[in-house]
Amino acid sequence: MQDILSSFEHYHKWLREHEEPVAETAGFLTDRIRQIEPDIHAFIRLDKERIVCRGRSLDERSQGGALWAVPVAIKDNICIKGELTTCASHILDGFRPPYNATVIEKLLAENALLFPGANMDEFAFGSSCETSFYGPTRNPWDLSRIPGGSSGGSAASVASGEVAAALGSDTGGSIRQPAAMCGVVGFKPTYGRVSRYGLIAFASSLDQIGPITRNISDCARMLEVISGYDANDSTSVDSPVPKYTESLGKQIKGMTIGLPEEYMGEGIDEDVRRSVTESVDVLKRLGAKIIDISLPHTKYAVSCYYIIAPAEASSNLARFDGVHYGYRSPKSDDLIDMYVNSRSEGFGKEAKRRILLGTYSLSSGYYDAYYLKAQKVRTKLSQDFDRAFSECDCIVTPTAPNTAFKIGERMDDPLMMYLSDVFTIPANLAGLPAVSVPCGQDRNGMPVGLQLMARPFDEEALIKVAHAFESETAYHKMFSGGCG
Amino acid sequence: MDKKVSKKRITEQTVRYVAALSRIELDEAETASYKDQLSDIIGYIEQLGEVDTDNTLPTTHVLPSMKNVFREDELKESLSPDEFLGNAPEKHGNFFKVPRIIQSS
């Protein structure tokens, strides 16, 4: 099955040649997923009947649409009308949204076959996909390791060949970091490029929905479908969406690519450093001009993020009180007790940690020292990028300082866990588009990711460079074998 | 990455205060554990103090052209009571039901 899902093109060819009804294919795919799910646990739930029913409705329509019958896993924080959507949290038990997220409407309009319920860190809080109320996802390359987070279920489902593509959300690297650790492509679009309507909010000024795929061509196709202005999202940007697929196959000769010294310093795994250095040589061979640049405020990105993101999260999560939806504690005599008991029993450890951290930094006496300061440092970080992009077209870095670590290794050390996202967080703080592509393997055979960042709304530059790199290397063809 | 942590101490009293503001109840073991973890995290975050931001404006929004969004004041169809009450843990008629908040005399 991994062969037919290796690219959308290949899969469509297979469907045409076999004249297999989509409903049959949907059932077949679901059965295969069920076989390997006990190992991987990329999905919180899998409802074969509903998926086959969707396949049947596609059979009743004409064979059209950019994503016709393409199996796409949906992270469990993206609303699908009538489907359970839990954010991998006990507090959203039983929640069925009464509407579709805009990205879901767009996938349905292009006749994608949706596989809801991809596992994730609770409310997207995490870098390892271990904080899900429903249990961790495992890395298809090595089941004793994490898949990366928080879109770990989405990345693992693509890496194991369960589905051809997935939607994730990226607040501090939650698409790119698991993509890197699972050896697949993960794209975070510019803030405002893809509607967040129907994405259950974590940190509203940082969140973006984006695709996870096996290669850049499929990624460009997904991006073309989900991008665009949406009146339902007040932070959506009304700017024309280029044909991203037209950036495929373009030469990168003459492009200038910046290599920031701060991303290659101490603390990086030697195998990651070697893979990235070799990848930079590939870009050089392809005719790109590599220049050294500096992003001096990078070292403050994690601190800045862990003020701003929990502050926004603590505010967004105030709505979970057991009144309108989700879990309500049965042990409450009065209203305040009901709020407290529902939240105390409904949220997991990491969610509580971030709520406490956010409430602390926003509380009286600390707002200026922490929140306001972090927003000023955020400006400094953005200014670093403005200066860098006056010299180069895009920036190349490792996606993460290390490859996938062992399950449980960092669970008792939240700060160490937070540092997993040190290289991905800056793009969220500055709102930039960024992509992770596979670029090597470490001594244990675990995938390494290469990150590319570009100016706001210049997704085309990333697709151009990433596709040129992919065409010159074979890392995207490495397969975890998770689906046998 | 290096984890250089200064020793900013968060007390158990602060953790309990912040938890109360957050409408979260913690037992003693949780309070002690969060005290240590938040101390570590806030200690690390203190490094932001090194950055000179005297003449720097805060980022109020990452999109520079961001402005308030208005829509026409038009009547539109809204969710039906069945739809908006469909997820309610408890309901009574067309209302969300919560524990009593007013005492009867």
Q: Is B72 on the interface with A (CB under 8 A)?
A: no
| pLDDT for the residue A482 | 65
Q: DSSP assignment of A240-296, as one string? A: PPP-GGGGTT---TT-EEEEEGGGSSTTS-HHHHHHHHHHHHHHHHTTPEEEEE--G
Residues A184-209, mean pLDDT to the nearest whole number: 97
Distance, in Å, from the CA atom of A364 to the CA atom of A465, rounded to the nearest integer, reads 47
Q: What's the average model confidence in pLDDT over A2-12?
A: 89
Q: How far is B18 from chain A (nearest CA, A)?
A: 6
A322-341 pLDDT, tens digit per residue, is 999 999 999 888 999 999 99
pLDDT the model gives residue A394: 98
pTM of the model: 0.96
Helix A349-362 vs helix B12-21: crossing angle, to nearest 10: 90
Average pLDDT score, chain A: 95
> Is A127 a residue of the active site?
no
Query: Which secondary-structure segment (H or E) carries A376?
Result: helix A373-389
Residue A484: band (very low, low, confident or very high) from pLDDT cuts 50, 70, 90 = very low
Q: Does residue A302 carry a pLDDT above 50?
A: yes
Q: Please report which confidence band the pLDDT of residue A155 belongs to, taking 50, 70 and 90 as the band edges.
A: very high
Does the CB of A365 have a partner CB in chain B at under 8 Å?
A: no
CB contact under 8 A, B23 and A336: yes
d(CA A306, CA A300): 10
Is the omega angle on the peptide bond into residue A234 within 30 degrees of 0, that is, cis?
no
Residue A437: pLDDT over 90: yes
**Strands A71-75 and A113-118, how do they pair?**
parallel
Asked if the model's pLDDT at residue A483 lies above 80, the reply is: no
pLDDT band at B1 (very low <50, low <70, confident <90, very high): low
Name the band, by pLDDT with cuts 50, 70 and 90, for residue B3.
Answer: low
Rama region for A192: left / alpha / beta (φ>0; ψ in -120 to 50; rest): left
User: Is residue B69 within 8 angstroms of chain A, CB to CB?
Assistant: yes
- All residues of chain B having their beta carbon less than 8 Å from the beta carbon of residue A352 are 22, 24, 26, 30, 34
Query: Where does the pLDDT of residue B8 fall: very low under 50, low under 70, confident under 90, or very high at 90 and above?
Result: low
**pLDDT for A38 beyond 80:** yes
The pLDDT confidence band at residue A2, using thresholds 50, 70 and 90, is low
Q: What percentage of chain A reaches a pLDDT higher than 90? A: 90
Contact A300/B47, CB-based, under 8 Å?
A: yes
| pLDDT interval class at A362 (50, 70, 90) | very high
- For residue A1, pLDDT over 60 is answered with no
Determine whether A448 is exposed, middle or buried from the number of CB atoms within 10 Å of its CB (0-12, 13-18, 19+).
Answer: buried
A321 reaches B (C-beta below 8 A):
yes
pLDDT of residue A7: 96
* Contact A380/B at CB under 8 A: yes
Q: What is this model's ipTM?
A: 0.92
Shortest Cα distance, chain B CAs vs residue A357, angstroms:
7
A420 part of the active site: no
- Write out the DSSP string of A333-347: SSHHHHHHHHHHHHS
Phi, psi of A25 (to 5 degrees): -60, -40
A174 assigned to active site: yes
**Among all residues of chain B, which has the CA nearest to that of A206?**
B62
Mean pLDDT of A255-282: 95
In sequence order, the 6+-apart residues with CB closer than 8 A to the CB of A9 are A217
Q: How would residue A380 be classed by pLDDT, with cut points 50, 70 and 90?
A: very high
